Amino acid sequence: MPLLERYIRRLVDCGVTEKLYFLVGLGPLKSAQTARWMRDTLYGTLIPEGVIRRMEAARDPRHEGIVICAEMIQQAREIRGVAGVHLMAPGQHREIVEAVRLAGLV
């Protein structure tokens, strides 16, 4: 989130967010292994090592991924210039619903 905050702040400072809407791409992670694969393989995917360690330490990594996603939704909502989030999780419809619920949006 600190990187996102710095990036969006620059866009705000340049007036870009007055003309365009910016969405943050998020999604619940299934496991630490999935998080590493996404980070290492999918261009533009940023997953901090701390998130991966948190997934590794979790009793229920899938649920922890939902909780992390919900926390990130909440954090993104607080960044001036972010218009919303694009939740990406093919085949994980229930996880998306749960993340949105945990984020307090429904």
Q: Distance (Å, rounded) from C-alpha 61 to C-alpha 50?
A: 14
CB 29 within 8 A of CB 96: no
pLDDT in tens, the chain (106 residues): 999 999 999 999 999 999 999 999 999 999 999 999 999 999 989 999 999 999 999 999 999 999 999 999 999 999 999 999 999 998 999 999 999 999 999 8
d(CA 98, CA 82): 22
β-pair partners for 21: none
Region of 91 on the Ramachandran plot (φ > 0 left; ψ -120 to 50 alpha; else beta): left
Give pTM, 2 decimals. 0.92
